[in-house]
Structures are given as structure tokens and as C-alpha cells.
Structure 1
Amino acid sequence: MENFKLNSGKVKAVLPIYMVLFSFFVICCDNNEIKSNSEFFYPPKADVESTFETFYPDSGGLGTKLIIKGSNFGTDTNYVRVTVNQLKAKVVRVNDNILYAVVPARADTGYVRLYIRKGEEEVEYTSDREFKYMFKSNVSTLIGTPGKQAADERLDGAYTVALLRRPWQIITDKDGTIYWSDEGRGQSKNGALRKASNGEVETLVYNSSGPYQSCNGFAFNSTQDTLFMANRWNSADVRNDVSVMYSTREANFVNVKALINFPKSSTASVAIHPKTGELFFDHNDEGAVYKYNKNAPNGYEKMFNVRGSYNAMDMRLLFNKEGDILYLVLRGKHCIYKVSYDAATHTFGTPEPFAGEWSTSGYENGEGLAARFNSPSSPCLDPEGNLLIPDKFNHCIRKITPKGTVSLYAGKPRESGHADGLPDKAKFFEPEALTFHRNTLYVADRGNHCIRKVVIE
């Protein structure tokens, strides 16, 4: 028993030493294993042809795990990249003959492309079928009560309490505050400039004897401290010659002043160049586009006529993100034109048809001039640079890619009404204007007297 106790004591004394040695051994082994694993990250073999055999699943939404099968991918993710419909997909793992990637947001339907770098050369492989992107979107009513319009004295307050009156222009700032105009012409309070933020609606300006008599288009300057607005003249109600007016953030946009006086121009839209800050506006009675130039006679200069002597186009202007294309939505002619712009020389090219057919209304999706619209109105761009357009009398929202492919974005074509829900089930009533902020499209749903939103993913 004494010997046993003695040995037991030695064991207790030696055990901690063994534990330390064992831990050291494990750490060394782990380190060796890490070093060993790093040796397995290798590029694709330069002298062996790579292949792209297939991918799956063939459909899904944001975050879908995409599996690509083939050969000679290597195991180092630095040598491969993947796109879905031209948008970058994050590559999370590659094992020479199988690759794992994550589908990016808003990829839309398109081909899967695999790019493999070998030395200085990058080889592109394209799938033989398209990945079908499943959008997770929903249409809802944000502000106002559908079908109930405000009186001349607007009812402000919470989004669900406030009443609107034919909202027909809309814009958001970088903080997500929404500004819109309730339709109205003349000096009475039947028109108003309003804003919504943090769950509350506030009326900023009413129609009056001053410049603000027929607000018909919005554009912020690059710093968003100045809001420019078109003031649309008509002989029956408007009693001033103001074409473009402005107000400033410093004064909470209530200090509306005249910028351009142009008698009987019936200006419906203003556009700010995204790089130069130049301001352009339309002249409806001439079918022309002008530029603000404080050094020119009267403060403006003519840029071009859209189509010879044709007028009464009821134009809406919007530059693409790069500023090298000006879109001309010709509401009165049921089509969209575009014209190139050189910011270095400050010159435009020749306007040309982009989507829809001149003076032909209807509803058709498709490529460019084969599409049909019915009074397309004030557009916006989505984050991918697509043109989103409220197709007013088709009671829906359309999308046009930069290449001119036209499709349905939301709503039930030719069916007016009010219904929230999935985009293809939702109903609008004469949607008039759009604005996009982050992942949300806001719609001035004129006929329903409310602001709708389409949340994307």
C-alpha cells in the first residue's frame, strides 16, 4: 500500500508535464496541418484545358448557393470568378472540379459565366442555359388612404392619417425623405409641395400668386441642398411666366423662387447632369430641350429639337448614371427617345427612338420599338441603371434595360384599381411618377391618391 501511494504520488507529479507535452504536440500538429492545407491551394493547370459542364440549381433568389461543375478549376479562389447576368457572385470555395458561389442581389434572369485565370490570360466560359432569378418583392401602400383625396387644406400627420390629392411628381433624398407634389394648377390651394419622413407628412408649400403655381417635375442638385422644380404654364390657370423654380434645404424647401422665366413654355420636366451639375429643361410648345445658362440672354440656351417641328410631347427628362445619355420620355407620343451627351464639349448628339412607336399607344413588351406604352410618365433609375417608367394609362410599372428590352415590373396591365401584394398581383390607378431609394421603389399613385412602395428583397 505504501508503494502504491508512492507511485500514485509520482503519477500526480508527472501528469501535468505530460499534459503540457501533449498540448505542445497537438499545437505543433495543428500548425503543421495548417501549413499542409495551405499547400493544397493551387491555381488551375496552365497546360490543361478547363471545362464548365453545368450548374445548379437553375433558379433562386438572393443568397442562393450556386454549384458549378467542370474540371481544372484549381483550388485557389483568387484564380476564378463568377457572374450571374453580368453581376458578380461571391466565390466561397473551389475544389478543382466543383465550385461554390453565392447569387448576388437583383441579378435578374441571365447566363452564368465562369472566368478562369491562367497566367496573364483570363478565359470566359458561359452556361448553355439561363439562371432564373426569383425576386422577393412586395407592393404596399405607404402614405394616404386609397380612393380618398384631400381637400384644399391638406391633412398632414401620420402616414395612415394624412390625405393626398393626385400625387404626380415624387423624389427622394439621400436620407430617404420623400418629397412629392399634389397636382394642382393656378393660385388656389389645390396644389401643394409635401414631404414625408419618420412616419409623418408635412405640407411645405401651397399654390399661390408666387412662383409655385403648377409644379410638374423635380430634380436635386448634386449636393441635394437645392430642389429644382418645373412650373408648367397653361393659359387657363397659371398666371406667371416661370418655367423653372427652386427652393433650398436650408429653408426646409419652403422658400420657392423663380430661376428661369420663359413665357408659355409649358415646361414639364427638369434634369441635372450627374457629373457637371448642368440644368436642362423642356419647352413643350417647341418640342425642344434647353439648358440653363445665367450668362446667356434670358438665362437659357436651346440645345435641340427632339423631332423637327413636332411639339406637345409632354416630355420627362432623365440622365443615365454616367451622364452620357439623356432619356426623353415622350408621354404625349407614347414612346421614349434617347440622345447622347458629351460632358467635355457640352454637346448633344441626334435624338433617336429607344422604346415604343411614335404616336402609337398600346401594351406590348419586347425589344425597343416593338414595345408599346400608353402615356409613359416621370421615370427613375434602379441601382443597375435600368429605366423604370410608370405606364400611366396601362396602370402599371415598366422596366427598360440600357439595351432597350422592355418588360413588366409591377402591376396588372390595363387593369386599374388598388391592390397590394406580389408585383404581378398588385394594382395601380394611373401611376404618374417614380423614385428609387436603396432597395425600395416609391410610386406616386395618382388615381389612388396615395404613395405606394415596392420593396425589393
Structure 2
Amino acid sequence: MKVEKMSKRWKPFHGVWLALIMLCFVQCKDSSEDSSIADFDPSKPVSVTDFLPKEGGSGSNLVIYGDNFGNDLSRIKVVIGGKKTKVVNVKGSSLYCIVPSEAFKGDIQVHLLDEQGEELVQASAKENFVYVPKWVVSDFIGKYYEVDNDFEEKEGPFDDCGGFKGISWLTFDPLNPNHLYFSADNHSARKIDFENEWVSYFRHGFARATAINWKLDGDRDMIVSENHASDTRNAHYIFSRSSNFQQSTVINQGARGVQGAMVHPINGEFYYSLFRAGEVHRYDFETQQRKLAFANPYSSVAIFMVVHPSGDYAYITNYNTHYILRSDYDYTKKTFKAPYPVAGGSQNAGWLDGVGTNARLNNPSQGVFVKNPDYEEQGGDQYDYYFCDASNHCIRVLTPRGRVSTFAGRGNNGTSGYSNGDLRLEARFNMPKAIAYDELRECFYVGDTNNWIIRKIAKETPDENEEEIADETAKQ
């Protein structure tokens, strides 16, 4: 998955280009009384001759060249792709503006206005600006409640399904990309049906459901894990697909304090973590036996686990101690090895982008591997790892080379909150703990745990209704 921030053609020159633009307009401002810059002359035509750069996304800087623009900001309006544009400066034959969001059509129009704001004349560019959609955060489903006491929990359609408390794990049905499930610790688990746009309860019968996984063989049945405080109680149940995941059979192995679990995508073994013991155990469905896979460096810690699609390794996330380890898979012994740190500082919470253990995390939780097409030419690992950094209120990304960067969140003032929009400048989360990537729709879903909703991270797309209206208008 690739996030395009600007076109490759202009990216290398962006800084220099912007500096020159700003220098030009600062100089123009300082000499604003220069008589060589004439006011708009209504007796002469207005024209748009060129613009640079030729493509870009929302927030990009754009210079439009032409004739007879005048020098009065209050008497000029620029519209790009049907969206009104912020004009920063105008001086006769050029004007400097900021590309608005969702300017998909890309046509450029310059309007000159009279003192009452009525249009005098309009000019259009002969070619269109190529609008590059950017990644933004929006609400997906669930209602955001400004007043906590107004919270309502219910089943229903996407636009009226209440809120979701305690979201802790998201997972797609591997045989049905239209079904997304989530567990929510001691709150209600749900099934999200994209085809029917309906949210329903997933009734598992546990006090605290944690990870949801899927068997590799057979009908790809669902495995649901329970977090309880007994060493002799069973903690894992297999919900059969044939019963529409309503009937279950137990995995007869006692386990206490299970937070994380995973299934090896090639060999099918089942792994799960134990909170107090600080261990990861391996269960073999064929022999129905379990054994210790490895000991975690710390005990009494919530451990979340996600295996790489190749099965070659897994990331072992220590929520309470603020770092991520990697465990490589031994194909000969068919088990995962003792893990080693790859991101964050052990017991050293913070927020800092960087490489490996120089980065700082704060309560990292669920993550997901997403293929990055940019890695195809260089070979090797093709996947980035996107994960929730809960107490930093953001989504981070870990590359195969160990670099951690902030992908989304911490907008405005870098703290918790609720806001949609630009990934970094505007978007804010409140303790996001769960994340899934939708390969079919090419977007992320984030369990925004303390905002009680599920957010969406995707590229901007034209509103279908607006497009239909525009098309009908064009035909008339």
C-alpha cells in the first residue's frame, strides 16, 4: 500500500519551487504600491495562460498565470474542480492559491468581481489540473457521542447502529470480505455486514473476548479467545462456519489471561499469550497438544501477536512495556523462536519516530501487514506493518527495515480527540486499539476505542450523488 503525498515529477523540486514562489510574492507585497502592477481593467479581457505545478493534492501550492488579474484579493475568486479556492496573493499577471480538497475534476476558473461581489468576468484554463486524491480520516460506522450519558448500544443499519465500547480486535472473515468482526473485551462483540450495511451482535457467551482468529484448514472456522483469571479454565473456542458461527466446541487446554493469539498461515498451528506468566504457547490441532513456544521478556503484560502473511515471522507487541519484538519461525521444528526487539524502547514510553529501538511507542496494540508495491523492484519483504499506538492516539507504520513513522493522528495539538480530515494535520483519535486493512476496498478501519466508533482511512473519492448531479447538469 502506497500513500502518495505529491507527484513524483514535482516532489524533488517542491521545496525550491515553493521558496521561489514565496520570495516572489513577498517581494511583490513589499512593493505593493508599485505603479507597474495595474488594477483590474474592466475594458480589457482576462485570460489564464498557464499554471504550475500541473498536478497535486489538497493543500498543494498552485500559481496561476494570465493577464489582467488586478491586485485586489477581495475582488478575485478562484474555483478548481468546482471547489472554491483560497487565494493567498494576486499581482496582475499571476496569483498564488492553495488547492482545495476534493477538486477531482481539475478545471480552473478565475472570476473577477465588483465591489459588491458580483461577477464581472471569468476566464478558464485550457487544460485541467490533475488532482491527486490524498489519504484522509473519516467516520465509518458508529455514532460519536459528545455527552457520554447519551450513549446507545444497539443493532442496526450503518447510519443508525449506536456506538461501540471497548473495541480491541478487528478481523475480516477470510472467506467473505464483506464480513468484518470485532471483539470488545468485556463489551459487546459485533459483526459488520458490508453487503447489507448492517451491524449485528456476535454472541460468543464470554465475559471478556479478546482475539478472534481463523483455522487454516476445513471450513476456516472461527477461533475466539477468552481472557479470564483461572489456570484450569479453557480459554479458546471454535465457532463453526456451518452453524453461522453460533455453535462452538472447546479447545481443551486451560489458559489464563489470554490477550493475544494467532494462527500460522502455512502450517496452521495456534499460538496464544498468557498475561501473568509472560509466555507464548503453541497448540497443534492435529495432536491436540500444547507446549511452550517461548517466554516473553516480561510477565504480567498484555501481549498482542500478528504473523506475517508469509509465515516467516511474527510481531510480538508488548502493550504495557511499549515496544515490539520479532519472532522468527523455525520451519524445521515448526514453532516460533525467542523474540528480539525491533521497535520502541522497553519500558520507555513516548512518541518519537525513528529507526528500531530509537523510536518511542506508548501502549502499542493491534497491527496489520499491508503489501507495499514500492518494494517490488528491490525484492525482499514486501509488507509494511501498520499498528495502533493507543496512548499516543495515532496509527504508526513499521517498515521492513525497522523505521517507525506516524501515519495518522495527533493532528491539531498532538493529543487525544476526535477530528476527521488530513492524516497528520487534522485527524485525531482517542486510544485507538484495533485496526484492519480492507484489501477489496483498499482502506483501513480503525477501532477508535475511547471515541466508541470505527474510523476509516482511505483515499478521497468523488461523492457519487454530486457526480450524478454534475453529469445531468452538463447534459442540459
Q: TM-score range by the shorter chain?
A: 0.5 to 0.7
Kindly indicate whether residue 212 of structure 2 is the aligned counterpart of residue 218 of structure 1: yes
Output the CA distance in 2 between the equivalents of 1:347 and 1:170: 25
Q: Residues 260 and 408 from structure 1, CA distance in 2 versus in 1: closer, same or farther, beyond 3 angstroms?
A: farther
Pairing 1:345-360 to 2, within 5 Å after superposition = 345-360=333-348
Output the CA distance in 2 between the equivalents of 1:160 and 1:182: 20
Output the CA distance in 2 between the equivalents of 1:344 and 1:356: 30
Aligned to 1:80: none
Amino acid at match of 2:396: R
Kindly indicate whether residue 422 of structure 2 is the aligned counterpart of residue 422 of structure 1: yes
Aligned to 1:257: 249
Equivalent residues of 1:329, 1:337 under 8 A apart: yes
Cα deviation, residue 360, structure 1: 0.8
Q: Deviations over 1:158-184 (max 9, x none)?
A: 112102222221112352321112331
Output the CA distance in 2 between the equivalents of 1:305 and 1:370: 24
SS of 2:434 mapped into structure 1: strand
The list of structure 1 runs, each at least 4 consecutive aligned residues, that deviate by more than 6 angstroms after superposition, is: 148-153
Q: Residues 152 and 196 from structure 1, CA distance in 2 versus in 1: closer, same or farther, beyond 3 angstroms?
A: farther
Output the CA distance in 1 between the equivalents of 2:335 and 2:168: 31
Output the CA distance in 2 between the equivalents of 1:422 and 1:195: 26
Amino acid at match of 1:259: I
Pairing 1:387-426 to 2, within 5 Å after superposition = 387-412=385-410, 414-424=414-424, 425-426=426-427
Aligned to 2:258: 267
Output the CA distance in 2 between the equivalents of 1:180 and 1:156: 14
* Equivalenced residues, count: 317
Q: Deviations over 1:121-164 (max 9, x none)?
A: xxxxxxxxxxxxx8721211111101377999941111121022
Aligned to 1:57: 10
Aligned to 1:103: none
Gaps in structure 2 of 5+ consecutive residues: 1-7, 14-54, 57-131, 373-382, 461-476
Aligned to 1:363: 351
Paired residue for 1:318, among 303, 306, 310?
306
Pairing 1:7-406 to 2, within 5 Å after superposition = 56-58=9-11, 136-147=134-145, 154-163=153-162, 164-173=164-173, 174-184=176-186, 190-198=187-195, 199-205=197-203, 208=205, 212-222=206-216, 225-234=220-229, 241-263=233-255, 265-294=256-285, 299-307=289-297, 310-384=298-372, 385-406=383-404
Cα deviation, residue 338, structure 1: 0.5
Equivalent residues of 1:233, 1:240 under 8 A apart: no
Equivalent residues of 1:266, 1:285 under 8 A apart: yes
Output the CA distance in 1 between the equivalents of 2:171 and 2:308: 16
SS of 2:168 mapped into structure 1: strand
Output the CA distance in 2 between the equivalents of 1:214 and 1:304: 25
Output the CA distance in 2 between the equivalents of 1:150 and 1:281: 36
Q: CA-atom RMSD, angstroms?
A: 2.9
Paired residue for 1:441, among 440, 444, 451?
444
Equivalent residues of 2:181, 2:189 under 8 A apart: no
Amino acid at match of 1:229: V
Amino acid at match of 1:288: E
Aligned to 2:69: none
**Percent sequence identity over aligned pairs:** 23
Output the CA distance in 2 between the equivalents of 1:246 and 1:456: 36
Equivalent residues of 2:212, 2:224 under 8 A apart: yes
Output the CA distance in 1 between the equivalents of 2:286 and 2:198: 41
Output the CA distance in 1 between the equivalents of 2:305 and 2:265: 13
Gaps in structure 1 of 5+ consecutive residues: 1-54, 66-133, 185-189
Amino acid at match of 1:177: H
Amino acid at match of 2:166: R
TM-score w.r.t. the length of structure 1 is 0.64
